[in-house]
């Protein structure tokens, strides 16, 4: 697999949607505009195989030839998200069975059970044929598996059998299963393996240990479905890369498991252009990008980037303002994207996605957005080779895990306490200080970080507890929060004072808690400043820790709300409630200064700073992802990598303005 | 069919709900009160045919005889909305199958698939027997088909087969079908006719071309079901009229198609008496009446008029205030009703509609509302013959179509952009200027109009485009809006600058658009006044048009928001956004004045003015549909048709007061 | 059955959830803390009978022996709410069929149809075996049937057949059935008994007479299922009591019918500890307790009392503040509880109820709440024998009935008009005056009361009308409200002026009404004070009654809104609208003073006063169920039953402070 490419721009293109007479002019305009990569093929099963075993490649041959003739590289998506109608006719068991017992009918997409043996067989064949056909095509450089994997929540017979097997492999005996899931409650004990089924009826009241394992099984089903495809592709196309396009977080499906077999991760990035979202969109987008980079702990691709107002089965969003498309594409690159493929070349005139707008409108008259895209392509192409091989080097990481997400979804703790939303607040506070942050799975190695933020380690296993303690003992700063150590890996509550296995290193014990939910309570820091908090309040007994903030009201007023505990060469913070962002921001600044983080800046709203370093230099991206003009102080004079000008003590950026500075 | 009748009053009466000893006294009170028409029979299938093929007419004979003896005329409703239990037992395939796959069970009403062969057979028989029986009854003057047709959303086997046939007839080959619907998207191509089915699962994400055609098929299914009945009735009762009672707009079912075979349309009119609805109820009611008149472009009946608080499976509404019933009945007549039948004589003491109140309460003690009804009957009877044959002659029409409604429902364009709601705003603004307006199908001839308002011609065919261009070229004023010309008749986007085929006559091209949704933007007219707008903003390039309002903010500020373009002897306006009612009101006044419309008045809130002219004179209805007293200037002295008094320079109307003036 | 016990404290304990090595230490800590009663066993079917016909008692023997060894008494719950998986495998017809046609799957609890013959057979056997086994165990004192009976809304074949039989028994012939339900409406007439089924599809539009009877049948199904169990228990264990734990009101299931066979009722009491609920929780709790006392018109048990934050399938509630648990347990006793069993001893570490917190947290480290519980146990034990045999003697009763609740749910009258919510307002207004109130079924004898409040006697039978008239004629004060006498027992509207059979005694006739709903109208009392009202407004004609308040706006302004009518030695009030609580409070004070009620006090918010009298004295409970400190004037000096101190002219109570005074 060859990944030695400059940073490049691309587009998603569906030749089968357009009259072939348009292909040549489209390809030429792409090439002329600076596009280097085109993704094709996913969803086109009915054209590739219009009838069982009858494969039609001529149209795709012609399309790829046309693209190649214009110097474009191609990524092919496997079309397994859209089994054609003849296949459903032949194998109706491919359709997922919803928790209600109703079928997930064909007619849209995603109408396939990952565990259906027929779906596996026919998917393997189309992937086999497709990869055989195009391994040698000079345009093709890599593959995308399927499209935006997510849970179908299928409960068909095949799923039931596969789940039973999964459970049996994990627990061996019914005794161990009943023990592991605590099924004695409500007489739920299994007395026969046949009783192990998906959660029929979809009740949210079912056994939480069972439900968490079922979500793990669902992720594993996707992994198995994908692995089958990847093995075929790798066998046939050893020189091509394989990726998958993840989308809109948080996802219940475990992206780390799905990512394991990929060469790199991809992301479909649709930042919301609404003027009402300017406070949040830049930050939730930044988190999405950092999380995507963390899936494989390496640079990634954007496989679909916003090109115009999305819409279709929901009312359309606002159109992106001038500069928005360019700025958010640079944000992708600034956070580790090595390619930015825009969705889509031209808005569809047919089918369900007509109003998910492309770069060019239905009229085929290139407009404002397309001209902005052309400028962007020119910029990226001028810098692409210098950026090749460059990466972000961060000193802070946030830990993340789908098991935590799913467990907290299965048993909501308090109104407003949402795992991913709370991660967003930590990440946003860091981003606003200009502190570039990794987001990694909690099982990852922690070497090289100065600070680890670990929100809600609700499920806690011994290995994680030990690694975190070791991290702090070795001089790291570990930040823990309420709802840590509550459960073991089977989603059973532990019979221990919280935070359980992390009680010693944090120096605190939770003696009781108040699920504050949407109510607001007060906390007070050491300087006497008060802040609001919500969601949760642990009442602590301090063993070795020091309080650095206390509750300012409630019956536990004056008791510790945030603590610090020295541990080995490092320290452990315990944040016992959910303070507002203002407090978290101050706390993070204090911690960052103590650690001597290299860069801490108070950035204007919407401004983001990250740095990519590589063999061809170090580049600092300063992006104004807001519709306001901003002025940013610079500590020295720098050369603009965009236009070579020297930037002095202040950098002025207009709405959605960006700058890239060369750093010594 | 004999329609030569004075304007008359009626009531809906269910003899089968009451002890027969009440019939005589009820009929006598009706007659004494001035009632002339009684509708009976719909829903009474189980009494007409208590067992398969066993018909029982004696009760209905006796009821009709009683009514006739008291001088009352009768309209019979066919009972096909309520197939009896024995029929469902015998033919369970009559029950509709919902998109979820569940049955629409008996126990309420409407539990019948329009395409069920058994339903057709048994419906034909009961209509045959009923019309045979009563063709000769001296009381009977006409027929109502079924009751309030609407989509059942049935997806049973019969519907599936009928739809397949419908599609096959329309598209001939699978190739043409796949082309027409653009099924290649998401591999939705049909490879076998058997794959053509209703939208199982009811997903809103399905192919929009398919969904629009499915809604057309659903309307056609109703038409076929009704035509079967009408043919029987016309054959048996050539001297009787046939109508159908439409209800609560907007309806997905195509009223123009359903109306085609009728002698005239009827409407079930339930204006909301809530004091919170006084700003909107008079105007949405006026639109409903104008739309009903437009179904056949002739006068209509009210088959059910509000008589008291509705309620039943929802909490009851407020009771109508004194004068409300009278004023709204006159509103019906003022807008073209030739009969106003009140629902219902007396509130039911049994069954599901107990709290859908009639004129007389459960107690059978006539109260305030009944006395008001008696006064109304007296008034109508005194004027009925003079109004006979009179009609409204309007100079303005709004174009309307269920295809537009359904297409915009299938693919919502922007938050708040609702087809019928936007029509309401145009109609209300006209009504407030006293400009009486027709609402007609967009395929109707446009002769005689000075102004055509054509909101959202989203689907645009060549014929309509040509007729509209010709209308303007011939001197008419055509008002177009955003979302015009977007699609062809198959609900595919056109590859052309919008408004597509109407671009030339409007003199504008849409270069991009902003789906503004619920956000508010600003526009500014030529006088410098600013107004708000929302939903949508087309950004225009003006070819030959002049801007008469511009955007006052957003990145397209100062570009045209509303334009005027001379076209032949007339002109075309293009309204590129959805301005607030204040702007539309000013715009309409300007246009109306330019056209020299005969009457433009600034009417107080809730006051409506329309004119009926006929062989016996011209009558101007001035209705105060508000709970406030109003004073209205008159341009001359007029004689009151109600009481013969002379009305001078000002007309004073109390709450819900009305006046009818004789015009020279 | 021996009920001669002091007032005692208990806990709910699930030995099967815990390692047996914990049992002894748990039992010892219970006993040491003052616990006297332990409930066990409900939900443990899969442990009692792990396979068909294979019974395992050793674990329960050992658990009961352990409890007995520590001096604890035991109540056993029958485990029939949780049929084990092997039983569902064997008899899948046990699973309820929901109105949608989908199964109510196993995996949670309550997955059993009350009418399933298999469910009856297997339930009878487990209850038979369980009661045989433990009749002689020295710890066992009584039984709880099942758990928190409520409608499953099952529509399975067995339910359908049972319902058909129930209807047939009640109505004998189809003619009488069709008459009684008024099925002629919408051709709903039954022509064959087989057509009588549950309301498939669950439509809210179905015939209201049918739906009301179906709800009666559903209650009777529960009764039959429970009677089967009670007969077995009484036969096997003649010296044990039998109770059932009702929960969260209002319930659709008829608690009076279910209570009929019980020795006493029990209630599961979970007052909401949220600081946002301090205005309502004490009062809705008081109503729940009074209602529970009224089920059998005798003292009751609390079988589950709040011990910590509930949560699980919903976000957790706030934790109870210091004093809350104690104060609300005393509230239970103050209103007639003879035992307060706390749910649960320790929070579960397994299963779906992990976050329905017990007295001791998951950590098994007793904390603040447990210490408060220990104090409470000490207090209750010190007073328990003195309170033995004491009861409340009230002069006021509110009438209540599930038929009214269900009928008004089936046909909602007006927005906001909710039967139980309106009862709450009457009860709260009385409670705030310190007027202790019974809540009894409307068919109960009324002897001994001075005032009867009868909200919404919507369904009215002759017997009730006569008893109420007699009550007033004998000197009682009867308070009637709007929506009285509307319907007969078959849920048909009566053809009479309202309030129908109570028109004479109230001296008023309703001539029309206005379903005001959520709108606000004004009323004015005799002093000229105005108040708001909503929901409904009857317009009255006064025959013999006097207006004591009139409407102050609307078209019926100045007509009577509240009336008083002398009737025999008493009087009847008719409240024609739903006045705000301020007005009801003034009205009740006036009425109470006229009746010479023994105690009327204006109590601070959250403070409640009740009195228990018995062979060992009279005890007045003064409870501050609020987080604010309060000061309450005393009319004399009293001895505290808690600590023997003398309380002078003022009683000072801190947040959630309580006092119990000995009255001469």
d(CA B278, CA C323): 53
Tell me phi and psi for residue C214, to 5 degrees: -65, -40
Of the candidates C141, C198, C285, the one whose C-alpha atom is nearest the C-alpha of residue C625 is: C285
Tokens read off for A637? 């004079």
CB pairs under 8 A between A and B: 164
Instruction: Indicate which residue of C42, C49, C106, C148 is catalytic.
Output: C148
Q: What is the pLDDT of residue C552?
A: 98
Token couple for A284: 């939730």
Coil, strand, or helix at residue C44? coil
Task: Name chain C contacts of A417, Cβ cutoff 8 Å.
Answer: 315
CA distance B283 to B431: 7
Cβ-based contacts of C89 with chain A (< 8 Å): 192, 194-195
Q: Which residues of B touch C210 (CB under 8 A)?
A: 107
Q: Residue C103: its chain A contacts at CB < 8 A?
A: 101, 200-201
Q: What is the pLDDT of residue A201?
A: 86
- Compare all CA atoms of chain A with the CA of C367 and give the residue at the minimum distance: A511
- Do the Cβ atoms of A362 and B495 come within 8 Å? yes
Q: What is the mean pLDDT of chain A?
A: 97
A483, pLDDT greater than 60:
yes
Q: CA of C412: which chain B residue's CA is closest?
A: B315
Is C414's CB within 8 Å of B104's CB? Answer: no
Contacts of A309 in chain B (CB under 8 A): 514-515
> What separation, in Å, do the N-terminal and C-terminal C-alpha atoms of chain B show?
32
Residue carrying the six token digits 């198609």:
B257
How confident is the model over A392-402, as a mean pLDDT? 98
**Which strand (E) or helix (H) includes residue C328?**
helix C324-334
Q: Under an 8 A CB cutoff, do B43 and C513 touch? A: no
How many C-alpha atoms does B350 have within 13 Å on its Cβ side? Answer: 19
Inter-chain residue contact B361 with C206, CB threshold 8 Å: no
| Order of strands, sheet of A617-624, starting from the edge strand that comes earlier in the sequence | A607-614, A617-624, A658-663, A638-640, A646-647
| H-run or E-run covering A23 | helix A23-33
Residue C600 burial by CB count (10 A; 0-12/13-18/19+): exposed, middle or buried?
Answer: middle
Are C495 and B83 within 8 A, CB to CB?
no
Q: Which pLDDT belongs to residue C2?
A: 43
Other chains touching B, judged by 3 or more CB pairs under 8 Å: A, C
Chain C adjacent subunits, 3+ CB pairs under 8 A: A, B
Catalytic residue check, B165: no
- Chain C hits for B351, Cβ within 8 Å: 182-186, 188, 207-208
Mutate to test the interface with A, among C26, C106, C272 (most CBs of A within 10 A): C106
Q: How far is A495 from chain C (nearest CA, A)?
A: 4
Q: Using the CB atoms, write b or e for C87-105: b if 16+ within 10 Å.
A: bbeebebbbbbbbbbbbbb
Topology classification of domain A8-85+114-152+221-387: TIM Barrel (3.20.20)
- Picking from C350, C363, C368, the nearest residue to A497 by CB comes out as C363
Contact A512 C319 (CB under 8 A): yes
Both structure tokens of C406: 């269900």
Smallest Cα distance from A174 to chain C, Å: 13
Averaged pLDDT, A439-444: 98
For residue B368, the distance in angstroms to the closest alpha carbon of chain C comes to 8
| Sequence spans of domains, chain B | 8-152+221-387, 396-595, 607-663
Question: Could A349 and B493 be called an inter-chain contact, meaning their C-beta atoms sit closer than 8 Å?
Answer: yes
- pLDDT < 50 regions, chain B: 1-2
Cross-chain Cβ contact A555/C312 below 8 Å? no
B208: nearest CB among A89, A276, A354: A354
The yes/no answer on whether domain B8-152+221-387 falls in CATH 3.40.470.10 is no
Radius of gyration of chain A (CA): 26
Cβ neighbours around A652 below 10 Å, total? 12
Q: Quick check: C184 and B348 CB within 8 A?
A: no
Per-residue pLDDT at A2 exceeds 60: no
- Rounded Cα distance between A124 and B394, Å, is 67
Active site residue: C42, C49, C106, C304, which one? C304
Q: Per-residue confidence at A202, pLDDT binned at 50, 70, 90?
A: confident
What's the pLDDT at B204? 72
- 8 Å CB contact of C84 and A495: no
| Residues β-bridged to residue A400 | A441
Q: Can you spell out the DSSP letters for C617-658?
A: EEEEEEEE-SSS-EEEE-SS-EEETTT--EE-SEEEE-TT-E
CA distance A395 to A361: 43
Q: What are phi and psi of C159, to 5 degrees?
A: -65, -45
When CB atoms are compared, the residue of B82, B104, B311 closest to C187 is B82
The alpha-helical segments, DSSP class H, found in C91-134 are 117-134
Helix, strand, coil shares of chain B, percent, nearest 5, are 35, 25, 40
The three-state DSSP-derived secondary structure of B44-99 is: CHHHHCCECCECCCHHHHHHHHHHHHCCCEEEEECCCCCCCHHHHHHCHHHCCECC
Chain B partners of A362 at a C-beta cutoff of 8 Å? 493-496
Q: Sorting pLDDT into bands at 50, 70 and 90, what band is A664?
A: confident
Nearest CA of chain A to the CA of C306: how many Å? 15
Asked whether the beta carbons of B147 and B43 are under 8 A apart, the reply is yes
Chain A residues with CB-CB distance to C47 below 8 A: 184, 187, 189
Q: What is the pLDDT of residue B567?
A: 98
Alpha helix positions (H), A401-502: 402-410, 419-432, 462-473
CA A426 to chain B, closest CA, distance in angstroms equals 30
Using CB atoms, which residue from C275, C351, C365 is nearest to A186? Answer: C351
CB atoms within 10 A of CB A616: 14
A508-525 and A530-542 beta bridge pairing: antiparallel
Neighbours of C223 (CB within 10 A): 20
Catalytic residue of the set B148, B353, B395, B418: B148
DSSP H helices, A297-340, are 324-334
- Answer whether A316 sits within 8 Å of B191, measured CB to CB: no
- CATH topology for the C8-150+239-387 domain: TIM Barrel (3.20.20)
- pLDDT of A3: 61
Paired tokens of C646 = 């003398």
The per-residue DSSP string of B229-272 comes to: HHHHHHHH-TTSEEEEEEESS--SS-HHHHHTTSSEEEEEE---
Lowest-confidence pick of A323-332, A454-463, B98-107, C325-334: B98-107
pLDDT at residue A312, as a whole number: 86
Q: Is the peptide bond before A305 cis (omega within 30 degrees of 0)?
A: no
- The residue of chain B nearest to residue A310, with distances taken between CA atoms, is B515
**Residues of A designated catalytic:** 148, 304
Return the residue of A nearest to B102 by Cα. Answer: A102
Chain A residues near residue B199 by CB distance under 8 angstroms: 107
CA B553 distance to own-chain centroid: 38
Residues belonging to chain A: 664
- Bridge partners (DSSP) of residue C510 are C540
Residue C192 contacts by C-beta under 8 Å, 6 or more apart in sequence?
A: B85, B86, B89, C174
Contact at CB, C191 and B108, closer than 8 angstroms? no
DSSP element (H, E) containing C514 = strand C508-525
CA distance B390 to B337: 10
pLDDT reported for residue A492: 98
Of C312, C315, C322, the CB nearest to A517: C315
**What pLDDT does residue B543 have?**
97
Buried b (16+ CB within 10 A) or exposed e, B255-268: bbbbbebbbbbbbb
* pLDDT for residue B2: 43
What distance in Å separates residue C115's CA from the closest CA in chain B? 23
* Residue that has been written with the tokens 């330019």 in this structure: B594
Q: Each residue of A601-646: pLDDT tens digit? A: 889 999 999 999 999 999 999 999 999 999 999 988 999 999 999 9
**In a 3-state reduction of DSSP, which class is residue C190?**
coil
The parts of chain C modelled with pLDDT lower than 70 are 1-3
Q: In whole angstroms, what is the distance from residue C553 CA to residue C524 CA? A: 9
- Closest Cα of chain C to A395: distance in Å? 35
Chain A CB contacts of C53 below 8 Å: none
Superfamily of domain B607-663, CATH level 4: Golgi alpha-mannosidase II (2.60.40.1180)
Q: What percent of chain A has pLDDT over 70?
A: 100
What's the CATH fold of domain C396-595? Rossmann fold (3.40.50)
Give the end-to-end CA distance of chain A in Å, rounded to a whole number: 32
Note the pLDDT of residue B170: 98
CB contact under 8 A, A511 and C318: no
Minimal C-alpha gap between A362 and chain B (Å)? 5
Secondary structure letter of residue B498 according to DSSP: T
């Amino acid at each position: 697999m060859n990944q030695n490419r400059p940073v490049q721009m691309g587009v998603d293109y569906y030749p089968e949607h357009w009259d072939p007479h348009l292909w040549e002019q489209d390809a030429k305009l792409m090439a002329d505009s600076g596009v280097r990569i085109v993704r094709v093929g996913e969803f086109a099963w009915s054209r590739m195989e219009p009838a069982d075993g009858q494969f039609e490649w001529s149209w795709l041959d012609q399309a790829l030839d046309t693209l190649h003739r214009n110097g474009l590289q191609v990524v092919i998506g496997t079309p397994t998200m859209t089994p054609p109608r003849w296949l459903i006719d032949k194998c109706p068991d491919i359709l997922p069975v919803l928790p209600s017992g109703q079928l997930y009918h064909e007619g849209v997409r995603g109408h396939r059970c990952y565990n259906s043996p027929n779906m596996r067989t026919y998917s393997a064949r189309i992937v086999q044929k497709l990869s055989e056909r195009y391994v040698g095509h000079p345009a093709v450089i890599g593959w995308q598996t399927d499209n935006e994997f997510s849970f179908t929540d299928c409960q068909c017979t095949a799923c039931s059998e596969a789940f039973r097997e999964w459970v049996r492999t994990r627990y061996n005996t019914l005794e161990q299963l009943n023990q592991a899931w605590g099924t004695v409650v409500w007489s739920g004990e299994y007395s026969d393996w046949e009783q192990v089924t998906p959660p029929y009826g979809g009740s949210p009241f079912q056994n939480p240990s069972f439900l968490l394992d079922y979500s793990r099984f669902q992720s594993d089903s996707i992994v198995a479905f994908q692995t089958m495809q990847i093995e075929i592709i790798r066998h046939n196309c050893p020189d091509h890369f394989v990726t998958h396009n993840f989308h809109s977080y948080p996802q219940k499906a475990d992206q780390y498991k799905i990512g394991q077999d990929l060469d790199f991760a991809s992301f479909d990035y649709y930042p919301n252009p609404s003027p009402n979202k300017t406070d949040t969109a830049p930050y939730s987008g930044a988190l999405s990008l950092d999380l995507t980079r963390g899936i494989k702990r390496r640079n990634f691709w954007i496989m679909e980037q916003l090109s115009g107002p999305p819409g279709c089965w929901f009312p359309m969003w606002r159109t992106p303002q001038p500069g928005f498309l360019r700025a958010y594409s640079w944000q992708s690159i600034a956070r580790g994207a090595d390619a930015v493929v825009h969705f889509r070349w031209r808005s569809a005139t047919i089918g369900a996605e007509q109003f998910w707008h492309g770069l060019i409108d239905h009229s085929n008259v290139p407009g404002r957005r397309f001209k902005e895209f052309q400028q962007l392509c020119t910029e990226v192409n001028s810098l692409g080779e210098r950026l090749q091989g460059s990466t972000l080097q961060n000193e802070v990481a946030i830990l993340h895990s789908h098991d935590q997400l799913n467990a907290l979804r299965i048993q909501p703790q308090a109104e407003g306490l949402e795992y991913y939303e709370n991660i967003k607040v930590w990440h946003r506070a860091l981003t606003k200080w200009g502190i570039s942050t990794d987001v990694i799975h909690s099982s990852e190695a922690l070497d090289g970080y100065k600070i680890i933020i670990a929100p809600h380690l609700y499920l806690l296993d011994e290995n994680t507890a030990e690694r975190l303690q070791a991290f702090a003992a070795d001089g790291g700063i570990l930040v823990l929060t309420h709802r840590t150590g509550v459960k073991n890996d089977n989603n059973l509550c532990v019979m221990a004072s919280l935070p359980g296995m992390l009680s010693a290193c944090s120096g605190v014990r939770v003696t009781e808690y108040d699920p504050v939910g949407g109510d607001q309570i007060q906390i007070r820091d050491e300087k006497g400043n008060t802040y609001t908090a919500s969601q949760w309040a642990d009442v602590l007994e301090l063993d070795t820790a020091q309080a650095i903030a206390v509750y300012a009201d409630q019956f536990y007023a004056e008791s510790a709300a945030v603590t610090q505990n020295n541990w080995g060469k490092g320290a452990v913070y315990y944040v016992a409630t959910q303070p507002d962002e203002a407090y978290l921001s101050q706390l993070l600044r204090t911690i960052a200064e103590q650690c001597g983080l290299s860069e801490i800046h108070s950035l204007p709203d919407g401004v983001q700073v990250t740095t990519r370093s590589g063999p061809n230099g170090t580049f600092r991206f300063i992006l104004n992802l807001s519709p306001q003009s901003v002025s940013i102080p610079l500590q020295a004079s720098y050369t603009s990598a965009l236009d070579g000008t020297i930037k002095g003590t202040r950098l002025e950026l207009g709405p959605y303005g960006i700058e890239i500075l060369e750093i010594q």
